Amino acid sequence: MNHSRLFASVLAIACLLPPACSNEDAVLVDNLINPIRLGDEVSLSEDVQPLFTFSCAVAGCHDRASASGGQVLEEGSLFDAGTGIVGVASQGAPLLRVQPFDSQASYLIHKLQGTQFNVGGQGSQMPLGALPFDDEVVQVIRDWIDEGAQNN
């Protein structure tokens, strides 16, 4: 898939999805999510965090005030002990939320794909109350994890 088609897919999803959970107080970002760069190392700040910020770190979900499931996905919080996701034990399954270098052993991927029950997990597929991420979007998150879930 070329860059423009992938960007259009991500943009279409972002425009169609209301923020999940309670969106009464959610503020939608008014700028575009950066296009995903195929073939390059995945960047947390440029490729992954914008997805979390728009679809997950919203009022009533994984913002600091709500911390649904005990996790916060706001910018600058992914590596926080306890409420972050990198190297932190999941509350819903016997896996880490994100296991660096191993996306298949990362509970986050199972929650995004709806396979959480296969690994002893629970709850709904994420993002809650919205359409699931496209395979290409999940692959970007997988790639970030498989590249070490770096704070880059």
The pair of three-digit structure tokens given for residue 136, joined into one six-digit string: 């290409």
Q: How do residues 110-128 score in pLDDT, each as one tens digit?
A: 999 999 999 999 999 999 9
Q: Which residues pair with 86 in a beta bridge?
A: 98
Q: How do residues 51-67 score in pLDDT, each as one tens digit?
A: 999 999 998 999 999 99
Q: How far apart are CA 93 and CA 152, in angstroms?
A: 27
Q: How do residues 60-119 score in pLDDT, each as one tens digit?
A: 999 999 999 999 999 999 999 999 999 999 998 999 999 999 999 999 999 999 999 999
Q: How far apart are CA 101 and CA 26, in angstroms?
A: 33
Residue type, 71: Q
Start-to-end C-alpha separation, the chain: 25
Q: By the 8 A CB rule, do 131 and 13 touch?
A: yes
Is residue 39 scored above 90 in pLDDT?
no
The pair of three-digit structure tokens given for residue 45, joined into one six-digit string: 């700040």
* List of E strands, 41-152: none
